[in-house]
Structures are given as C-alpha cells and as structure tokens.
Amino acid sequence: MPRRHPKKPPKDLDISGNLRLLTELESPLDPTALFCRPGPVELEVGTGKGMFLTSVTLACPDRNFVGIEVSAGYARMAASRLASSNTANGLVIHGDAMHLVRHSLPNKSLSGLHVYFPDPWWKARHRKRRILNPEFLEHAGRIMQSGSHLHIWTDVEEYFYEATGAVNNTRLFNEQCDEAPGGPNATYRTHFERRTRLAGAPIWRAVFERNETPPQKHRLVTKRLS
C-alpha cells in the first residue's frame, strides 16, 4: 500500500533536537554521542510517521532510540512527534539505512534493531532494493551486541520467509521465535500494523537473539556522505 503524503510539522515546533541528517554525521558514528545522556541505543529502520519511536521512548526512558528514515517528509513528521512528546531519548536520522549500517555504525554499537513493515518492492526487477537482504543482515549482526534482539514484522508472507531464512543463514543469530501479536485491545506498534490489523489481514512476526559468533563476511568501511 503506497505511503500517504506526510503532514508538515507545526511552524512553531522546534524539531532540531530530534532530527539529524546522515550527511552531517561523522563516520564512524558513535550512536551514544547523539544523546546528552547515557544509555543503550536501539535502532528502528524505516521509522515512518514515528508511532513506534514515540511510544517506545516514553515506555523505556532508560534506553535511547534512533530511527532512520529515507523520506525527508516522514523524517520531519516523526521528529515532530518526538518533539511534541518532549522525550530526551529519541531522535530521527534522515538518510539511507543501508549506508548507515554499512559505513557508519561500529561493531557492537547497538542493543537492539527493529524493522517493521519494510517496503516489499513487489516488482521482480526491484527485489534487490529490499532492505532485509543478506548484506544488510550480515552488517546487522556486526553492529549488534550479543544478547540483543532483531525484530522483524511484515504483512508479506513471501518476504517474511525470505528474510528470516537470510537471517538464519548468517549464523549470527539464534533460531527465530515468533513474536506474540498484541491482543484485540493492545496498542498498535506502527501505523502499518494498525492499518493491517483493522483490515483483518495477517502479520508475520519474528524476533532473533544475537549470539556470540563473530561476523566474518563484512566489516565497517567508513564512508562519509557529501
């Protein structure tokens, strides 16, 4: 389902404390340096309108959360939600997630990774653009700390089994377990989840735990965007 045009933040709302541009960040990037407070850092890939990022920062004040969003409009929208909630433990980076994990984030720098309803790129010639590909997942294992969790949700069954199979092939994660869905009265984690559940469509969910196997195939190659 195509994205709707994002709403612009209110003109009087200062989102500068909750929005960064990937082109302006150092490489390598210490994600803890993005915050003026200590705490483990988790990353959401494709933060969209910012529903998950806003709710999780309020629910887990002892942890810091970063969202990466390729759309400038949605990045600003998510940052405005964070600014409105007045939390100090959440921010959005506008930029490409693959560049961030491949060229910016050091080994073992994240304590969690969330990928909810990534673009399935339906056309066969576009499948190579899917974010949950073997290279991304190898880098995910590189940047995640042992014992941290990778969460994957999608409403596309074929993509789910392709992605979870690729995760298992890295040998960097323990075997998947199904992540329990929320009950009928549970709050929604993302806007896509709300839309999908209200339509009565199924959602496939899995969570993986990073094991202690060292990554072999990929390493950090710093490259700053210009």
Catalytic residue ranges: 119
The interaxial angle of helices 134-143 and 157-170, nearest 10 deg, is: 50
